[in-house]
Structure 1
């Protein structure tokens, strides 16, 4: 069957975390830069669909295409790593220092890729600064301002709100990574990963890597947002919220409930042509 059970998925998360630590800095930067740019493509696709149709839900429905490209290619997205690496750390397969080093490289690569796409998109949208009539320009400016000064006007309440939206976002995004592991077929992976990404985007939650593109892009297009607004009122609190969402609500929660639910191989008793999994407290007796 193409379905992978949750107790097996947590082991796949741990293995993936170990594999990520083995990547060289150059591999991390290249793969994460590609991810940052691809999420930028997905964001502009979603904004285009929303502007053309007037339906935000349609934009949210097609945004996951970029995430699916990233995971199918095995690229590096720091928000996904906020769950995968901690799972391996909780299982003592990687060290804290190795995890932090990996996350910093991926964060930097995502930022570089997002900024590269922002520049290229600005050129394509404005004829290299010669025109400001494209319909997407006011939409992206509005988004950039809403994500920064829009929160700033509420003071501490705004900061708590953007942090909370970061938690909610990456709770779903990391579930997208986990659900991707629940299937061994390409079609199953695509459908499973699409679901939680659609959920987060449709509700306007805050994703650190998406914001690495859309806020600088808005600034280039004329948004009344400065560098401090970007980082203080959005990028830093959103990143912290994404960390909490990925580490606590996905990695730790799934690890605690599923890690010990796998029956060790030594408890498999071979009887004739059948492998009987011996009954254990809390488990059903299964026959294969």
Structure 2
């Protein structure tokens, strides 16, 4: 069957979290670098479409292409490991400790930032003919995004900070739903559809994604936008990361774990002999490697 039940889905999520925490430093950095690079190329594509057509909804409809590609290629995003890693810790998988979880988060953050910044530099060159001309209309629009979503929040003080945090929560609620939805199907088209819908929603609604912002805001700075590195860190990136962590874990990972984990542990086909069921349970499951 192409549909995976919620009980089995929770097992897959735990398996994926364990796999990522135990992954080598080299592989974690490579996969997170490439994951952010593909995601942010998709963001550049979506902004280009929105600016050139004047249709933001069309840009949002097309944005998920980067997310889908990185997931199918087995790359990682910080938003995904925020949700999956803690489940392996809660399930007390052998060898999983809090230090390993934090190590994974740190490595994925570094790889994601490097990948997103690489794309920011390349696109800044692209938008300015190698910094020899003023930014193109798309480059100008990216700079305005950076200004509006840093200084724009700061103008509202504590209310702006709260709004920024909430947008980060809502973002990873949707992004992690896309990560999990890809595990609900064993067919390519099922995975793509499952990912596409929530990712499209988050982008069109203007929620805050820490990895996308690692591209948008450095791009804006490189293109001469009117905000500072301190504005970016204080009034966007750091609160967004906190919101992404809370959103993915609180609204995706923990609810599924809490309501389906016990049944997942007990669920075994009734028509399979006990010995076969034992062997089957001992055999490691195939682990989706995506974000």
Residue in structure 1 matched with residue 10 of structure 2 by the alignment: 10
Instruction: Identify which of structures 1 and 2 has the higher relative contact order when contacts are C-alpha pairs closer than 8 Å and 6+ apart.
Output: 2
1:185-196 matches, within 5 Å, as: 185-196=187-198
Residue in structure 2 matched with residue 37 of structure 1 by the alignment: 37
Distance in 2, Cα, partners of 1:202 & 1:161: 16
Structure 1 residues 51 and 260: alpha-carbon distance in aligned structure 2, compared to 1, 3 A threshold: same
SS at 1:216's partner residue? Answer: helix
Residue in structure 2 matched with residue 28 of structure 1 by the alignment: 28
1:224-235 matches, within 5 Å, as: 224-235=226-237
Structure 1 residues 184 and 150: alpha-carbon distance in aligned structure 2, compared to 1, 3 A threshold: same
Residue in structure 1 matched with residue 117 of structure 2 by the alignment: 115
Alignment gaps of 5+ in structure 1? 276-288
Residue in structure 1 matched with residue 248 of structure 2 by the alignment: 246
Does 1:90 find its partner at 2:109?
no
Residue from 129, 132, 146 that aligns with 2:131: 129
Q: Name the count of aligned residue pairs.
A: 272
SS at 1:46's partner residue? Answer: helix
Residue in structure 1 matched with residue 162 of structure 2 by the alignment: 160
Contact 2:33 2:115 (C-alpha < 8 Å) held by counterparts: yes
Residue in structure 1 matched with residue 225 of structure 2 by the alignment: 223
Aligned CA-pair RMSD: 1.6
Residue from 123, 137, 140 that aligns with 1:138: 140
Shift of 1:268: 3.4
Does 1:50 find its partner at 2:43?
no
Shift of 1:101: 0.5
Residue in structure 1 matched with residue 66 of structure 2 by the alignment: 66
Structure 1 residues 130 and 244: alpha-carbon distance in aligned structure 2, compared to 1, 3 A threshold: same
Shift of 1:266: 7.1
Shift of 1:264: 2.5
Shift of 1:222: 1.1
Q: Which moved more, 1:189-198 or 1:261-270?
A: 261-270
Distance in 2, Cα, partners of 1:268 & 1:203: 45
Structure 1 residues 269 and 202: alpha-carbon distance in aligned structure 2, compared to 1, 3 A threshold: same
Contact 2:221 2:228 (C-alpha < 8 Å) held by counterparts: yes
Shift of 1:262: 2.7
Q: TM-score, normalised by structure 2?
A: 0.90
